[in-house]
Chains A and B, each alone.
Chain A
Amino acid sequence: MGRKLVSLAIAIGVMGVRPAQAEPAVFGGIDVRTDLGTQWMRAGAAVEIGRLSFDAIVDPYGYWTREQHDSEVLAGWALWPAGWSLMGGWRVSSLPLLGTRYYQEKAILGLAAPLSALPLRHLRARIGFEWAVTLVRHGPDLPTFWLWQEDELHGGSFNLGLVLRLEAGGAL
């Protein structure tokens, strides 16, 4: 009886496991958020290889207007194919401050997931839920603060963010 149960369990487990997508895929699109952590719309590109994903997000509007601009790179690992991913990465925020630029270096941790299918085949929507911690603030002629040197954790030390990514692309 025991051997039968083992066999049955193994069979069910194997049936449930889908092979990871082997073909790399590339996507490009827009990154939209409504909290004030970055500009409300930025541009991003993503590469997926199996369960690994890499995102780079840039801020054309911020660069063009010389206002706050945020650029980041993220790496993700899908917990299961087409499922939730754990994400981690780095964001550099550049702010116009007192006539110079002030930089905030942020570590990002979060989750990402695909949304329901869109009508057009090469379009997809994803969401991201992130927690960004400002590790250091620095800039020319301005004080430098490391996270552990701040005597109180200001509103900007930790940022929660929700982001919607609308992208076009597909397998290479």
Chain B
Amino acid sequence: MIRGRRTSLFALLLLAACDRRPQAILMCHNSNCAHATDPAADDTLASLEDSLALTYLGRPPIDGVEIDTLWDSERSLCLFAHDFDKPVDELAMDAVDRVTEHMLGAGAITWDGVAFRVKIESKAAVTPGGADHSADDLAAHQACVLDMVDRLLEAAVAGDRELEILLEGEDIQFVRSLTAHSRWPGKDPGEGLAIRLEANVKSAGLAPDDLVSLTGGDKPDGIDVLAFHSTRFPDGQQQAYEALDVDLMLWMLDASLETFYAAEVYHPEYVNTSEAVLLRRWMED
């Protein structure tokens, strides 16, 4: 990890002058990236359909999509929702069906022509009041997520598509516990298929040995990707992670000027945005 070569002043000046736009895997934040930002439309089937149908210069500007899941403990429903404020109930499996339909269709489904990414984020609250998962809630929510994973893997195989599934939870132990589940297919379930675990730079529950998986090594329940925001917190953590060559995902509510700066400085592996065409055009400039 520590390399002895010193950067010359000339190289520094050259680097400063170059100001390259980074290339990143472009994810559709909260299944809502086809229009001007509107958080009220996040995680809805209508937004998801518009986002999957989005094109720029004849091809999809995105490389993947994010689906949020919420376990409603009172009604035993696995919802496609960012929070309990969503007025209409839509099921997580319905969202997965839209995605699998897309994967089974003809033509390119990503900008870069490589793997399609699906990020499944599992929310921590199980009631509008913010209650945590009970043991039964945990089992049910895990079963829902694994059903989603199974359906996506089947569609990828049937459609001959490369697929990467990213699993994130507001509670990091949720995603780690999936790897201990009897139905866990493993991080490499087949040719062209991969499942990676994601957390936030601020997540409690990260451990020093996660660094192995964060930098491309093998740890069965290791966290593989860390998400960060450009302005929410002091930047020491993302600077340190960037220096450790960790795989980062830059997420945003709006593509502000600070977001563009963060993308240029931290060179994240992934960018998660609600403004897919804008970010694609920014990267391609």
Contact = CB atoms under 8 A, between A and B. Distances in A.
A145 B2 contact: yes
B135 interface: no
Given A95-B237, A149-B3, A151-B5, A137 B208 contact: no
A99 B5 contact: no
Contacts of B12: 153
A29 interface: no
B153 interface: no
Contacts of A154: 239, 242-243
A36 interface: yes
Contacts of B3: 149-151
A148 interface: yes
A155 interface: yes
B114 interface: no
Contacts of A36: 231, 233-235
Given A137-B240, A155-B242, A149 B2 contact: yes
A102 interface: yes
A100 interface: yes
A93 B3 CA distance: 23
B1 A143 contact: yes
Given A143-B2, A149-B4, A155 B239 contact: yes
Interface residues of B, number: 30
B143 to A, nearest CB: 29
A67 B233 contact: yes
Interface string A137-172: 100111111001111111110000000000000000
B239 A98 contact: no
B4 A39 contact: no
A104 interface: yes
A144 B244 CA distance: 10
A98 B5 contact: no
Nearest to A62: B234
Given A141-B208, A142-B208, A152-B7, A97 B241 contact: yes
A137 B231 contact: no
Interface centre among B206, B240, B266 (most CB of A within 10 A): B240
B210 interface: yes
B270 to A, nearest CB: 18
Interface string A69-80: 010000000000
A148 B265 CA distance: 20
A163 to B, nearest CB: 13
A156 B231 CA distance: 15
Contact of B211 (A96, A98, A149, A155): A98
Interface in A82-110: 93, 95-100, 102, 104
Given A36-B231, A99-B205, A99-B206, A151 B7 contact: yes
B105 interface: no
Nearest to A153: B7
B6 interface: yes
A53 interface: no
B207 interface: yes
A14 to B, nearest CB: 44
Contact of B233 (A68, A144, A151): A68
Interface of B: 1-7, 12, 202, 205-211, 231, 233-237, 239-244, 265-266
7 contacts: A36-B233, A38-B234, A67-B202, A148-B6, A151-B4, A154-B239, A155-B265
